[in-house]
Amino acid sequence: MRYVTAGESHGRALVAIVSDVPAGVPLDAAAIDRDLARRQHGYGRGGRMAIERDAVQILSGVRFGRTIGSPVALVIANRDWDQWLDVMAVSGEPNPRARVTAPRPGHADLAGVLRIGADDVRDVLERASARETAARVAAGAVAKSLLAELGVRVVSFVTRIGGVALETEPDPREVDQSAVDGSPVRCPDEGVSAAMQAEIDAARADGESLGGVFVVAAVGVVPGLGGYAEAGQRLDARIGSAILSIPAIKGVEIGDGFASASRPGSAVHDSILYEEGRGIVRPTNRAGGIEGGMTNGEPVVVRAAMKPIPTLMRPLPSVDLDTMKPVDAAKERSDVCAVPAAAVVAEAELAMVLADAYQDAFGRRSVAEMREALERFRDGLPR
Ligand code: EPS
């Protein structure tokens, strides 16, 4: 299973096409809309989220609530498009006064115009905007629904915003996702949530933006997904690539990741034990559910670092690309912090990688075929 998206931030709509979808996956627009709403919410979001009420239209690939094995096309209209007709029209002449010529440090603006030879930064920023991630969340909902049919649940929570961090991370098996979603910053601890919101308030007052860290995890995953024999099979590489493809993600670790580098081997690797009736058990999950490029049957635990949003209300120095004279970087309406939203996008990305890995292992054609093969595999595991 894979997806492709199209659409600009202030264009008419965002589009996702999900291909290689097995037949029989339950899919209804309301379930996708719930994830779209989770992505929109979050303390620290800007004015745009007050305008949009993201809602998906399923154009193809679904009959009477189930996929039929053909590509699923999804559309999310941009409500704000009405206000941008003069700037984002498909035909006619652009308004020269609407040009953007002061690239924002940290955004795609500068490298993008150098790449395509544009004389208006808007040609780049419209597509580079993280608005595109709404389409990813819609696509990921298809993967999540398949995974749910196979007993896999994907969860996420925020562990750091700026200088405020959650000291002890919960075991993903015990995370109550609706309680997490009840926190305005999607953090499982109420006290830390409140401190994170205060951090965001202070940043907003200061014309600043903030990044952070989140965990995205999959629970109920069978061992052996991915592969050790070929670079392209390795699941950690596939997950790393997918998570790093989310705008503003600058670091990814699996399990204890960077902390493992400073510990001796005996304090890093997870012992292998056997318990009658339960089979093989692992008393710890420092590996984050992945060994040798494969799932090992423990929850897959991924942590990602998001940089602060590049649009600053107190802008950094830039140059005007027309004159090459120093100017303040462009200011656009923006978010102060979007870490809670990025975690929801990461659920979609992780789900898409895992759905594809399940298809590699158990068949690509239908949920029924996949379920049967999965049962056979499970029956063969040591008990
Ligand atoms: C976003 C929509 C955008 C921004 C944000 C993400 O809306 P607008 O630009 O109209 O305010 O809120 O984009 C960025 C922060 C960025 O740097 O591109 C969304 O739907 O997530």
Cα-to-centroid distance, 48 and ligand 1 (Å): 7
- Please list the helix, strand and coil fractions of the chain in percent, rounded to the nearest 5, in that order: 40, 20, 40
Q: How far apart are CA 72 and CA 20, in angstroms?
A: 9
Whether ligand 1 lies within 6 angstroms of the CB of 46 is answered as yes
Contact status, residue 235 vs residue 226, Cβ threshold 8 Å? yes
Q: Please give the angle made by the CA atoms of 305, 306 and 310, to the nearest 5 degrees.
A: 150
- Mention every residue, 6+ apart, whose C-beta is less than 8 A from residue 217: 154, 155, 156, 172, 175, 289, 299, 300, 301, 302, 350
Per-residue pLDDT tens over the stretch 151-199: 999 999 999 999 999 999 999 999 999 999 999 999 999 999 999 999 9
- Which amino acid makes up residue 62? V
Domains of the chain and CATH, by start: 2-379 (3.60.150.10)
Per-residue pLDDT tens over the stretch 225-263: 999 999 999 999 999 999 999 999 999 999 999 999 999
Which residue's alpha carbon is nearest to atom 8 within ligand 1?
Answer: 48
Nearest in space to 54 (alpha carbons), one of 165, 141, 182? 141
User: Given this model, what pLDDT does residue 7 score?
Assistant: 98
Per-residue pLDDT tens over the stretch 87-124: 999 999 988 888 999 999 999 999 999 999 999 999 99
Q: For a pocket test of ligand 1, which of 10, 39, 48 has the largest count of ligand atoms closer than 8 A to its C-beta? A: 48
Contact status, residue 251 vs residue 243, Cβ threshold 8 Å? no
CB atoms within 10 A of CB 323: 9
Whether ligand 1 lies within 6 angstroms of the CB of 288 is answered as no
Whether ligand 1 lies within 6 angstroms of the CB of 48 is answered as yes
11-20, 41-50, 284-293: least confidently modelled range = 41-50
Instruction: Give φ, ψ of 313 to 5 degrees.
Output: -75, -20
User: Given this model, what pLDDT does residue 277 score?
Assistant: 86
Region 65-84: mean pLDDT is 97
Instruction: Give φ, ψ of 241 to 5 degrees.
Output: -65, -45
CB atoms within 10 A of CB 262: 8
Q: Is it the case that residue 378 has pLDDT exceeding 90?
A: yes
Which residue's alpha carbon is nearest to atom 19 within ligand 1?
Answer: 131
Q: 353: pLDDT confidence band, cut at 50, 70 and 90?
A: very high
Whether ligand 1 lies within 6 angstroms of the CB of 9 is answered as yes
Region 59-85: mean pLDDT is 97
User: Given this model, what pLDDT does residue 383 score?
Assistant: 84
User: Given this model, what pLDDT does residue 4 score?
Assistant: 98
Rg (CA), the chain: 22
Per-residue pLDDT tens over the stretch 186-218: 999 999 999 999 999 999 999 999 999 999 999
Residue 259, token pair as written in the block: 């902390």
Per-residue pLDDT tens over the stretch 308-348: 999 999 999 999 999 999 999 998 888 999 999 999 999 99
Tokens 């990688």 correspond to 353
Using a 10 angstrom Cβ sphere, with 0-12 exposed, 13-18 middle and 19 or more buried, the burial of residue 159 is: buried
Helical (H) or strand (E) element with 98? none
Which residue's alpha carbon is nearest to atom 10 within ligand 1?
Answer: 48
- Atom of ligand 1 minimally distant from the CA of 51: 10
Q: How far apart are CA 185 and CA 238, in angstroms?
A: 28
User: Given this model, what pLDDT does residue 97 score?
Assistant: 83
Q: Is it the case that residue 74 has pLDDT exceeding 90?
A: yes
Whether ligand 1 lies within 6 angstroms of the CB of 129 is answered as yes
- Atom of ligand 1 minimally distant from the CA of 125: 18
Confidence (pTM): 0.98
Which residue's alpha carbon is nearest to atom 21 within ligand 1?
Answer: 131
